[in-house]
Amino acid sequence: MSLYPSLNPTPRLLLGPGPSDAHPAVLRAMSTPLLGHLDPQFLELMNQVQDMLRRVFLTTNALTLPISATGMAGMETCLVNLLEPGDKVVVCAKGFFGGRMIDIAGRTGAEVTVIERPWGEVFSMDQIREVLQRVRPKVLGIVHAETSTGAYQPIEELGKLCHEFDTLLVVDAVTSLGCVPVRIDEWEIDAAFSCTQKGLGCPPGLSPVSFSPRALEAMDRRKTQVQCWYLDIGNIRKYLGAERLYHHTAPISMNYALHEGLRLVLEEGLEARWARHQKNCLALKAGLDALGLPYTAAEGHRLPQIHAIRLPAGIDDVKGRKMLLELFGIEIGGGLGDLKGKAWRIGLMGYNSRPAVVLVLLAALEQVLTRLGAKVSQGASVAAANGVYAA
């Protein structure tokens, strides 16, 4: 007799800020029997994963690999390997995840300078130039796609700007990779981290990271040990390098998943994938406009994969999301921080960025908002989205 029954969860459609649904082929790959983590077949698989990650990050960085923990561990990996006590770091905070960088950077003993923008806005190159000039930091950290607000931070010119001041650029690409372009080499990014459960269409569990040669040199010049053993890139380099020096046991099944996820990204093609996200974004936006739901992020700086919208007056956040979940099995996210109780966050990422998802979500939102007493023009949002697809 068993204490608990086997899993059999009620199916969900995951349209929050993450995780998103994994592609069915990825789920299937996870049930592949295990290989040993030093098996020649597994080493070849890891070489392929690294090669594919480089193609998705658009980089030739040798040190491009999945950290064996979730996205937040990727953020910590980038910061603890580049910072040591007494170093100066600037964190650009314009939402929840910038705040995370402040906490983690502070634990390295580095001197943290914070520049801020109101949630939903983004930084101008002038504002960043000013702080670089003033502080002359070793590292500048910024979030590319701010999951808490749906704001897109332009970073195309930021690497060049940082390098004028001999500063290393660390980019949070958790919500951007696989949805919008992340061009590590062209944009001169020195360290980037992401996750598996959004644009790559895999379950959460790994954090892809990439370090430029400039970042590696900075690590080689360290005077102190990296404070976190598990995330010490020096050890991980030996594990993944020719020596194959044992560091930890790689999460085999998660790497199976990432291998399949990356295969699917490259099979679709990066340009086609970005265009798909853009198309479904426009359709969803047309529908949300028809529902009368305004965006929280400033016009011109909105992500195609995260739509953060302000709730109409009188609409109860928790009640609405509960209704969506219970009636339709659809999960969306609530607001974080300043936007708690006031916003919903809708993710169309990776596998979930597709027309059927947009249509069912709009239809369900229409019903929920109507039930909650909002004035909604019936059928208008679905019609608007269909109009975009028909165009």
Residues 248-277 that bind a copy of itself (CB under 8 A): 248-254, 256-257, 259-260, 263, 266-267
| Per-residue burial over 67-87, b = 16 or more CB atoms within 10 Å of its CB, e = otherwise | bbbbbebbbbbbbbbbbbeeb
Of 185, 175, 187, which is closest to residue 336 (Cα–Cα)?
Answer: 175
Task: Pick the closer one to a copy of itself by CB: 40 or 314.
Answer: 40
Cβ 231 to a copy of itself, closest distance in Å? 7
Find the DSSP H helices in 270-391.
Answer: 270-290, 317-328, 355-371, 380-390
- Owner of token pair 């099979």: 267
For a copy of itself, the binding residues in 106-145 under the rule CB under 8 A are 107
3-state secondary structure of 258: helix
- Written as six digits, the tokens of 90 are 């600037």
Cβ 52 to a copy of itself, closest distance in Å? 7
Task: Pick the closer one to a copy of itself by CB: 126 or 267.
Answer: 267
Binding segment for a copy of itself (CB under 8 A), chosen from 22-30, 130-138, 299-307, 309-317, is 22-30
Cβ 61 to a copy of itself, closest distance in Å? 18
Cβ 278 to a copy of itself, closest distance in Å? 23
Task: Pick the closer one to a copy of itself by CB: 51 or 156.
Answer: 51
- Distances in Å between the Cα of 36 and the Cα atoms of 203, 208, 250, 258 are 21, 21, 9, 17
- Give yes or no for a contact between 129 and 161, defined as CB atoms under 8 angstroms apart: yes
Of 128, 96, 126, which is closest to residue 113 (Cα–Cα)?
Answer: 128
Beta bridge mates, 208: 66
Nearest 5°: CA angle at 131, between 126 and 87? 145
For a copy of itself, the binding residues in 226-245 under the rule CB under 8 A are 226-231
Beta bridge mates, 169: 140
For residue 3, the one-letter residue type is L
Task: Pick the closer one to a copy of itself by CB: 51 or 164.
Answer: 51
* Torsion from C-alpha of 170, 101, 199, 68, nearest 10 degrees: 90
For a copy of itself, the binding residues in 69-108 under the rule CB under 8 A are 69-73, 76, 80, 103-104, 107
Task: Pick the closer one to a copy of itself by CB: 130 or 229.
Answer: 229
Task: Pick the closer one to a copy of itself by CB: 14 or 281.
Answer: 14
For a copy of itself, the binding residues in 26-65 under the rule CB under 8 A are 27-37, 39, 41-42, 45, 48, 51-52, 55
- Give yes or no for a contact between 135 and 153, defined as CB atoms under 8 angstroms apart: no
Sheet holding 139-143, edge to edge: 63-67, 207-211, 191-193, 168-172, 139-143, 88-93, 111-116
For a copy of itself, the binding residues in 316-355 under the rule CB under 8 A are 325, 331, 336
Cβ 376 to a copy of itself, closest distance in Å? 25
- Written as six digits, the tokens of 107 are 């634990």
Q: How many CA atoms lie within 13 A of 341 on its CB side?
A: 3
Cβ 226 to a copy of itself, closest distance in Å? 8
Task: Pick the closer one to a copy of itself by CB: 27 or 125.
Answer: 27
- Each residue 280-319 as x (binds a copy of itself by CB under 8 A) or -, in order, gives ----------------------------------------
Of 369, 370, 363, which is closest to residue 310 (Cα–Cα)?
Answer: 369
For residue 116, the one-letter residue type is E
Binding segment for a copy of itself (CB under 8 A), chosen from 130-138, 150-158, 223-231, 379-387, is 223-231
- Each residue 174-213 as x (binds a copy of itself by CB under 8 A) or -, in order, gives ---------------------x-x-----xxx--------
Options 14, 168, 184, 283; binder of a copy of itself; rule CB under 8 A: 14
Cβ 262 to a copy of itself, closest distance in Å? 9
Task: Pick the closer one to a copy of itself by CB: 285 or 307.
Answer: 307
Binding segment for a copy of itself (CB under 8 A), chosen from 19-27, 124-132, 155-163, 175-183, is 19-27
- Give yes or no for a contact between 172 and 141, defined as CB atoms under 8 angstroms apart: yes
